[in-house]
Amino acid sequence: MIAVIQRVSQAAVTISKRETASIGSGLMVLLGIEEADKMEDLSWISRKIVQMRIFSDDAGVMNKSLLDIGGELLLISQFTLHASTKKGNRPSYIKAASPDLAIPLYEACIDELTQQLGRSIKTGVFGANMQVSLINDGPVTIIIDSKNKV
């Protein structure tokens, strides 16, 4: 499971020219689920997202988490994070999970993040053609992969 975590001052998702979700200050997370992912990957990545200290404290040091600042979270499913570009110029998505595996894990991730934050999160729509806009604050962008925990 791969997560691209971006610290934002605002972010939004538009589908068919209609804004379906938006947040203010917080995190916009792109989540890629692969065939080998399990609930342990989901739990680890969710905990990292919520507890990652990438917000500034009073001294300007990145020392606060999403929990600490009461920030919002926008979660977007993105299978293209598992693109393989080793051969040729057309990416292969062979590692990306099929919808029958990815949808339950994506929904479980929403539930896990909601539980850990103690409030609801905003999401995109799984499988939809979405336009995602954001203002990356910093910019701060962190990529984590549950297969590289150690």
Which residues have a catalytic role annotated? Answer: 80
Are the C-beta atoms of 23 and 8 separated by less than 8 Å?
yes
Phi, psi at residue 70, to the nearest 5°?
65, 30
SS3 letters for 46-96? HHHHHHCCCEECCCCCEEECHHHHCCEEEEEECHHHHCECCCCCCCECCCE
What SS3 state is found at 15? strand
Are the C-beta atoms of 72 and 121 separated by less than 8 Å?
yes
Are the C-beta atoms of 26 and 138 separated by less than 8 Å?
no
HSE, side-chain direction, 13 A CA sphere, residue 140: 18
